[in-house]
Every structure is written in structure tokens, then in C-alpha cells.
Structure 1
Amino acid sequence: MRIPGRSAAVLAALVSTAALAALSGCTVQPGDADGKHHLPVRIQLPSSHAPAVTRSAASGGQAPSGRTGAGGQAPPASSAPATRSAGPAPRVLWSRGDSGSGVRELQARLRQTDWLFDGPTGTYDDLTERAVSGFQGKRGLPRTGELDTVTWQRLLAMTHRPGKWELYLMGGQPADAPDPRCLTGRVLCISKTSRTLRWMVDGRTLQTMSVRFGSQYTPTREGVFHVYWKSRHHVSTLYDSPMPYALFFSGGQAVHYSYDFAARGYAGGSHGCVNVRDEAAIAALFAQARVGDKVVVHW
């Protein structure tokens, strides 16, 4: 079939244009709907010239610029993962050698959790240090043996506020005001309210010690008495129990040192005597007291 010369030239031009389009990879995009713009041309670049792709948020990187993450929220400006502030280091509240009401409360709370069986004494000793260390280790905290703010908060959450007799289970509570009958002469002023004995001379308190009294069925008598007998190595003939440094003031009732009080505190009781748990204190009192000195037992 013969094609006229003009038509052949037009056809050749069309074929050449199509061939160039195929070789360059160009495609024609449709124009805007309003037809106001020229038809744009997109040139597909070889893969070696493609821009680098930033890792997506899902893979730990930043989403490409201009995109939003899940929920329509823009990703953070930095691709570095967020870090949590370490916060202040725990502060040490008490450690071995400290003493006071705070240490006493610590010991009472450690007793509630069965980490301490002695005390409270109000002194941060080796037993308290070991109890704190054990409590810390059980809860994954550093076993320093020192009470820091973190350990204290954990202990507070597990215990209740100790009452007065929990705090002074082994004695050491402050003495209340002396009875007016104790303000003259040489007096053993004994308070059942504060569980203390004051050794007083002419209104001045020379010594104070913790004491305990008889049980419900063998109560310690109240009133004004006098020391009528001193017996350094006394043994009870009725109960066959030792009563060292005994100062007898009413029948078989005496102020004396008690091994049981020293070991068990207020968990026990006497048969009517006034027990002292501090052997050094009662030894000093025994040396100073005289037969005839007044004894006042009061609430």
C-alpha cells in the first residue's frame, strides 16, 4: 500500500515521538479538573537517584516529613527514643548509730513485718541494720542496711502507725509529771501511767527507768510505802524465781531487776513486784537507796 509523501512524513514523526516517549519512560498526567494548568510531566528517576526513606515510627524511626502517626498526631521532631528522667537519688534518713523517736517508730514497724524481734529501743543498732537490709533485699532494693526514703515509703505502705505501747514495748517511754507526794525527801516515784520509776531527792529527778507491774490477778499495790528491806541476791520463796537488787516496800512486793522483762518487755508481767529491765540502772539505785526511803506508786 502506498502512502502519499506528506502523510508518510507525518506518520514518521508520530512514530519517532512515541519511540522517544517509550525510551524516556515519560507518561502524561491528566490536567486539573478546571483545565487551567498545562498538563504536567512526571519523570521517573532511576532507583539509584531516589531520595533516602526515613524509618517509620513503627520501626523506631521518624515518619517522613509532613506525615502524621496513629491517631492523626504528628510524630516528635527528633527520631531519638524518649528517655525517662532518673529523678533524685533516695535520701538516707537513719543509719547505724542514730537514735530518737524516728528510729523507735522504724523498729516498731519492722516488728510488725517480722523483720525485727527485739526493741524498740530507739537506737539504730546492728539488729536494726540487719532487719532493714533483709527488708530491702526481699523487695529488690539495694541492701544497704540504711533507711532511705524509698525503703521508708515501702515500709509505711505495709504497716500501721504504731501505738504508744508498741513504741515502748521494751521501755524507754518518757516519764510523766511526778506525783505531788514525790516532791519532798528521798522517793522512789513509780507511775503506772507512763510505766516509769523516778529516783528523786528533794524534788530533783536523779534517775529514770522503765518498769512493769503485776498482772490483772496479781496487781501491784498503789499508795505510799517505805523500803523496809534490801536483798541483793534474793530468790522468791513463793515462785522460786530470782529477784536481784530487791527493794521490798509492801509485803512480798519489791522493786527488783527482772530477766524476763529484759528479754520479753511488756509481753509479760510480774506477780505484783515492780520489775526493772535495765540491770545497770537498778544496780545504781540499789546502791543509793536506804531502808526507810519513801515509795510512791500512783497512776
Structure 2
Amino acid sequence: MTARRAAPAVLLRAGDTGAAVRGLQARLRQIGWWEGDVTGSYGSRTTSAVAGFQGRRGLSATGTFDVQTRARLVAMTRLPTADELANVRPRPVPKPAAAARWDVDARCLTGRAVCVSKGTNTLTWVVDGIPQYSMDVRFGSDELPTREGVFAISWKKKDVISTIYHTPMPYSMFFSGGQAVHYSSNFARLGYAGASHGCVNVRSWAGITRLYAETRVGDRVVVHW
């Protein structure tokens, strides 16, 4: 006789409503498994999102939210804010009035450099000391910060799925271990309400594809304040 392992206890399922469902949907939205507003209603969209999340992590893709799925989701996300739960769109972060049009560190002024400013949330592509263009970026959270310093693009790939967080990282330019400059649909959708897992997120598709085409392995990456 072979003993059957008990199925994980179910916390939420199709037909449920309320604050717990909103929290689930908000966490799924943080990692790209939920599009649009949270609703607080566990319908077919929630079932599909949960099943997809489960399947990508080797869990049984039941579409019901059980204790095992909760543990994996909580480990990959943060507690949703009141604004996230209420679908309040964040206001753009204003740039300091004194900031110049180009926020370029002195270390970016020779050769080819991707110059990334945490102070003004901008990335500027600089060639031989001349800024070419700039775009908005966001960074990691306090728990998973984007590293600062002088690096170089070590490798590039257009189609990347994070092996740790299992989220898309299109047009990745890796500069420090698993940290890369890449496009983020989550940033494009939510703006500064969220954060990356340490990467430099770009929300402009046109901007990231242009930058990817123009950069080379070995180009400098400077992350500064």
C-alpha cells in the first residue's frame, strides 16, 4: 500500500470575494501575472492567473490558491500598499528642479556608456562624452537594491525569462550578475508603484529596442546618484 500525500489546504477558490482576493490579485500584478485593476472577485481570470503561476513553478496547476502557492507567492512579492489594493494610479515622480536636461556622471564622459541615475530615475546613452538620448527607469526595492558603481555589459539577449522570479526580461543587457537593463511591462503599466528585483527597468519599448541595438558587450554601465 502506498500512502497518498494530502493535498495542500485551499485558502481561496473560484467564487470567493473580498479583501483576501484583492491582496492575491495585487501580488500577482507585482510579478506580471495579473493585468489591469484588482477586483476582489475570484473568477476565471484569477483562476487562470493562479494556474499559470503554479505551473511555472512546478506546482499542481489547479487554479485554486492553497498554502503551498501562497508560500511561493509571498516569497516573491511584497505586501501590497493601500493604493495598490484600491487601484490608485501613482503620480509621476517629479525630477528635481535643479536637475540638468542630461543627468550624466563624470564617469560616463569617455567612450560608450549607459549612464543610469537613481537621483532622477533616468538612463542616458552617452557616446564620447555626448548624450544621445534619455529614458525613464526604475530600480530594485530596499530589500533587493540595484547595485551602484561602474560595470560593463557582460552579455545581451532579447528573449529572457528570469530563472529566479520566472518573469519576462525582454532586451536584457546584463551588467552585474543577474542584474540587467531591460524592458518591463509591469513598469510600463504601473509606473513607480512597483519595483524591480534589482534590475534597471525601462518602460519605453522604442527606447529599449533602440538602446539594445546600439550597445555592445563591453560598453560601460554606470549606476549613480
Identify the TM-score tier after normalising by the shorter chain.
Answer: 0.5 to 0.7
Alignment of 1:256-267 (within 5 A): 256-267=182-193
Q: Aligned AA for 2:200?
A: V
Q: Does 1:195 align with 2:94?
A: no
Structure 1 runs not aligned, ≥5 long: 1-116, 118-164
Runs of 4+ in 1 over 4 A off after TM superposition: 173-176
Alignment of 1:110-121 (within 5 A): none
What is the deviation of 1:174? 7.0
CA root-mean-square deviation = 1.9
- 1:242 counterpart residue number: 168
- 2:214 counterpart residue number: 288
Q: Does 1:184 align with 2:184?
A: no
Cα distance between partner residues in 1 of 2:176 and 2:155: 10
Structure 2 residue matching 1:286: 3-state secondary structure = helix
Native 8 Å contact 2:151 2:221 kept in 1? yes
Alignment of 1:140-219 (within 5 A): 166-168=91-93, 175=101, 177-219=103-145
Structure 2 residue matching 1:166: 3-state secondary structure = coil
Structure 1 residue matching 2:196: 3-state secondary structure = coil
Considering Cα pairs closer than 8 Å and 6+ residues apart, tell me whether 1 or 2 has the greater RCO.
2
Going from structure 1 to structure 2, the CA distance change for 1:294 and 1:168 (only over 3 Å counts) comes to same
Q: Aligned AA for 1:197?
A: L
- 1:139 counterpart residue number: none
Native 8 Å contact 2:154 2:175 kept in 1? yes
What is the deviation of 1:176? 5.0
Structure showing greater Rg: 1
What is the deviation of 1:191? 0.2
1:227 pairs with 143, 150, 153, which one? 153
What is the deviation of 1:235? 0.7
Q: Aligned AA for 1:252?
A: G
Q: Under a length normalisation based on structure 2, what TM-score does the superposition of the two structures give?
A: 0.56
What is the deviation of 1:255? 0.1
Q: Aligned AA for 2:91?
A: E
Native 8 Å contact 1:175 1:196 kept in 2? no
Going from structure 1 to structure 2, the CA distance change for 1:268 and 1:167 (only over 3 Å counts) comes to closer
- 1:70 counterpart residue number: none
Native 8 Å contact 2:103 2:122 kept in 1? no
Q: Aligned AA for 1:199?
A: W
CA deviation map 1:183-224 (0-9, x unaligned): 110000000000000000011111100000000100000000
Native 8 Å contact 2:92 2:191 kept in 1? no
- 1:93 counterpart residue number: none
CA deviation map 1:166-190 (0-9, x unaligned): 3448xxx975531100111000000
Structure 2 runs not aligned, ≥5 long: 1-35, 37-89
Tell me how many residue pairs correspond in the alignment: 133
What is the deviation of 1:272? 0.2
